[in-house]
Amino acid sequence: MLIKQLSVFLDNSPGRLNAATKVLSEAGINMRALTLADTSDFGVLRVIVDKPEEAMSILRSHNFAAKMTEVLVVEMEDTPGGLTKILDILEEGGINIEYMYAFVGTKPRKALMIFRVNKPDVAIALLKSKEVRLFSTEEDIEELIHVYW
């Protein structure tokens, strides 16, 4: 129920993001979702790709510091209160969100939310019990492109 996400350390200077994504594109790796967290000195690129292991080794061989983590990818209603519904469930389970980022797809009235939480197993069980749809495999993630985008 967890999806692999790569985090890449980048200097906060012009061209670094492009350098990292270029390495991926040249290797024929497709990005499904991404976000950038930044400070004045550095940034962390978080990206979900179709071939995470391959992406990881390519990034490392190009001297990027990269780390693989696991995140929840949750489908929710793209209507007022859609996010609240999910957050209520997580709050009920006493789950802390370390970070999250959202996508609005082309599928009518659906949005995607990517969560990094402190207790992923508890979160998965709770969300499933409330019949929230979770993406569980890299194949499922294909839908991010074909259905949502």
Partner 1 sequence: MTKYWNEPKECMTKEDKDQLQLERLQETLSRAYHNVPHYRRLFQKQGIDPEDVQSLRDLANLPFTYKTDLRDNYPYDMFAVSLAEVVRIHSSSGTTGKPTVVGYTRRDLNTWSELMARALTSGGATRHDVIQNAYGYGLFTGGLGVHYGGEKIGASIIPISGGNTDRQVMIMKDYGSTILACTPSYALFLAETLEDLGIKPEELKLKFGIFGAEPWSENMRREIETRLKIKALDIYGLSEIIGPGVAVECLEQKGLHVMEDHFIVEVIDPATGEVLPEGESGELVFTSLTKEALPIIRYRTGDISRIIPEPCACGRTLRRIGRIQGRTDDMLIIRGVNVFPSQIEHVLLQMGDVQPHYQLIVDRVGQLDQLEVHVEVSETFLFDEVRALEETASQIRSRIESLLGISVKVRLVEPKTLPRSEGKAKRVIDNRKL
For partner 1, the binding residues (CB under 8 A) are 5, 7, 9-11, 16, 37-39, 41-42, 44, 46, 63-67, 69, 98-99, 116
Residue closer to partner 1, measured from CB, 71 or 76: 71
Q: In the complex, what is the shortest distance from the CB of residue 77 to partner 1, in angstroms, rounded to a whole number?
A: 28
| Residue 78 tokens, joined | 């793209």
**Selection from 46, 144, 43, 110 nearest residue 136 by Cα:** 144
Q: How many CB atoms lie within 10 A of CB 115?
A: 22
Residue closer to partner 1, measured from CB, 8 or 144: 8
Q: In the complex, what is the shortest distance from the CB of residue 5 to partner 1, in angstroms, rounded to a whole number?
A: 8
Q: In the complex, what is the shortest distance from the CB of residue 67 to partner 1, in angstroms, rounded to a whole number?
A: 5
Measured CA distances, 21 to 33, 47, 84, 109, 124 (Å): 12, 10, 33, 30, 30
Residue closer to partner 1, measured from CB, 41 or 131: 41
Residue closer to partner 1, measured from CB, 7 or 21: 7
On the 0-12 / 13-18 / 19+ scale of CB atoms within 10 A, 146 is exposed
- Residue 148 backbone dihedrals phi, psi, to 5 degrees: -85, -35
